[in-house]
Amino acid sequence: MTITIVSSENGRSGAMAAMQLMREGGSALDAVELACRIVEADPADHSVGYGGIPNLLGEVELDASIMDGRTLAAGAVAALHGYGHPITLARRVMEETPHVLLAGRGAERLAAELGQREADQRTDAAIQRWEERFAQRNVDRGAMPALRTAASVMTGPLNLRDRAAWGERIDTLGTVNFLALDGQGNLASAVSTSGIGWKYPGRVGDSPLIGAGNYCDNRYGAAACTGMGELAVRAATARSLVLYLKLGMSLAQAGAEALRDLDFLDAREGHYMNIVALTPDGEHAGFTTIPGKQYLYQQSDMKEPILADRQSLTSDTFR
Ligand code: GLY
């Protein structure tokens, strides 16, 4: 069995720790949780956990999910405010409640009942960015309704597509994905995010939705998404890719089919979707609706994770 870890481009430090854990006999499930925790704790990653880009009101709301490929058990939290490490809370939802997904106040209540300490997830840099962009708009005091501001971020004068076209670095769509195959042949997947920057309060993306941004089944494979979550929610992207594998497609064919589903939704620059996937025999791939994106992978005989190109519908593989 080739122990393997696959992640989105921003998962390097987590991937290395996950690989070390699995080399020492640790499970894929423990590995993906550990990997997410490392990225969640990193204030330099503005799309995940502590230091994530706030919502329109200047609050950081976190989403995460975890799935165990042995049993299809899954846990998730959404719109979690005031507590860190959503991936561990997601795992506790999976293991200690009869539910799959807890959102908002319910997730925060669970965190408190489990003894997790409240922790402001905003860094000074994130607060400053929010203040520069939104404080004078008085969104929270109703002078500029959040609804109008949110619409403007997505489609109006502040929209992501135009900002990307003007050359602005868009770091408001990030998320971290980890897919792992351990020495026992088990798969696990984990996804964590602070969601789209400047989102409407309470907005939930694909990351905590099992089937949309995360899916894992020992028999067929695992898949997870980064990018504009609304696309993966509408196309049920992670589950679709794994279902295409179940139906007998190769990994490349399954990825292409998932991309065609997204293509129908008008995915584009600033409104894109990326997928990583891993099969039970260790084959891995990355897919993207916009060319030029990469992902990371490491197998047990490799010293460190390396970047590989994601395939898009324009790649030679699919012609
Ligand atoms: N992909 C993360 C999100 O849309 O929230």
Instruction: Look up the CATH number of the domain holding residue 279.
Output: 3.60.20.30
Contact (CB, 8 A) for 189 and 21: no
In DSSP notation, 43-61 reads TT-TTSSTT----TTS--E
Kindly state whether residue 155 falls inside one of the protein's structural domains.
Answer: no
User: 52: closest CA among 159, 165, 199, 152?
Assistant: 199
pLDDT tens digits along 15-34:
999 999 999 999 999 999 99
pLDDT tens digits along 250-265:
999 999 999 999 999 9
Confidence check: pLDDT of 153 > 70: no
Cβ contacts of 274 within 8 Å, gap of 6 or more = 8, 225, 226, 227, 286, 287, 288, 289, 293, 295, 310
Full-model pTM: 0.92
Kindly state whether residue 158 falls inside one of the protein's structural domains.
Answer: no
pLDDT at 157: 47
**C-alpha 166 – ligand 1 centre gap (Å):** 22
pLDDT band at 241 (very low <50, low <70, confident <90, very high): very high
Confidence check: pLDDT of 185 > 90: yes
- Residues with CB under 6 Å of ligand 1 are 175, 193, 195-196, 205-207, 213, 226-229
**C-alpha 195 – ligand 1 centre gap (Å):** 4
Mutation probe of ligand 1 site: the residue of 77, 87, 177, 193 with most atoms within 8 A of C-beta: 193
User: How deeply is 44 buried, as exposed, middle or buried, from its count of CB atoms within 10 A (0-12, 13-18, 19+)?
Assistant: exposed
Q: Indicate the DSSP class of residue 318.
A: G
pLDDT at 184: 98
Cβ contacts of 305 within 8 Å, gap of 6 or more = 5, 7, 11, 12, 15, 16, 19, 296, 297, 298
Kindly state whether residue 13 falls inside one of the protein's structural domains.
Answer: yes
Q: How many whole angstroms separate alpha carbon 289 and alpha carbon 259?
A: 6
pLDDT at 256: 97
Contact (CB, 8 A) for 229 and 212: yes
Confidence check: pLDDT of 135 > 90: no
Cβ contacts of 75 within 8 Å, gap of 6 or more = 65, 66, 90, 91, 92, 93, 94, 95, 97, 99, 100, 101
pLDDT at 170: 52
Kindly state whether residue 275 falls inside one of the protein's structural domains.
Answer: yes
pLDDT at 298: 98
Kindly state whether residue 299 falls inside one of the protein's structural domains.
Answer: yes
Cα 146 versus chain centre, distance: 25
Kindly state whether residue 153 falls inside one of the protein's structural domains.
Answer: no
The whole-chain average pLDDT of the chain stands at 90
* β-strands 73-81, 101-103 pairing: parallel
Domain count, the chain: 1
Q: Which domain does 95 fall in, by range?
A: 4-119+169-318
In this structure, the residue with its CA closest to atom 4 of ligand 1 is: 229
pLDDT band at 315 (very low <50, low <70, confident <90, very high): confident
Kindly state whether residue 186 falls inside one of the protein's structural domains.
Answer: yes
pLDDT band at 143 (very low <50, low <70, confident <90, very high): very low
**C-alpha 76 – ligand 1 centre gap (Å):** 14
Annotated catalytic residues are: 175
Structure tokens at 263: 């293509």
Kindly state whether residue 143 falls inside one of the protein's structural domains.
Answer: no
Q: Ligand 1 atom closest to Cα of 213?
A: 1
Highest mean predicted confidence (pLDDT) among 84-88, 119-123, 196-200: 84-88
